């Protein structure tokens, strides 16, 4: 009887741990690492199917993961050098704000990305140019 109670307690603890998921900063950091690896599928795995990508303040550029794949695939494919350096990061609840420095082939540019995370997926990104 004690074994059953112990196993039940262990399984309940694992279930609670699994439901807690990752924190928003971890989700965003892992997608940055996938971006830097030029792994499109790993990169997209951190986004919700209905993700929306905006240019500040509210111009919708990409609506959904399928559209995101179409938009990012040629970008990743053409990259001989692709690296995002986080210059500064601010985390507030489910929002991660990154000041980023991007190296893409022979170009270098900066910007700010505001990520909103729910259920371990990025649901919205707003880029500030």
The pLDDT, as a whole number, for residue 117 is 98
Query: Are the C-beta atoms of residues 122 and 116 closer than 8 Å to each other?
Result: yes
At 27, which CATH number? Answer: 3.10.450.50
Give the model's pLDDT for residue 103. Answer: 97
Mean pLDDT of 19-46: 92
Determine how many CB atoms are found less than 10 A away from the CB of residue 26: 14
Q: What is the pTM of this model?
A: 0.82
Residue 6 has pLDDT above 80, yes or no: no
- Would you say residue 76 lies in a domain? yes
CB atoms within 10 A of CB 10: 10
Contact 90, 104 (CB under 8 A): no
> Domains in the chain: how many in total?
1
Would 123 be classed as within a structural domain?
A: yes
Share of the chain above pLDDT 70, in %: 84
What's the whole-number mean pLDDT along residues 74-100?
A: 97
């Amino acid at each position: 009887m004690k074994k059953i109670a112990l196993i039940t307690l262990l399984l309940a603890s694992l279930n609670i741990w699994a439901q807690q998921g990752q924190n928003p900063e971890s989700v965003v950091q892992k997608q940055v690492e996938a971006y830097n690896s030029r792994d499109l599928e790993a990169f997209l795995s951190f986004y919700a199917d209905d993700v929306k990508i905006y240019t500040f303040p509210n111009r919708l550029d990409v609506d959904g993961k399928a559209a995101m794949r179409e938009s990012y695939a040629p970008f990743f494919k053409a990259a001989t050098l692709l690296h995002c350096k986080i210059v500064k990061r601010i985390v507030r609840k489910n929002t991660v704000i990154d000041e980023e420095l991007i190296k893409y082939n022979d170009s270098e540019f900066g910007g700010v990305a505001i990520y909103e995370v729910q259920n371990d997926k990025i649901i919205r990104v707003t880029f500030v140019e």
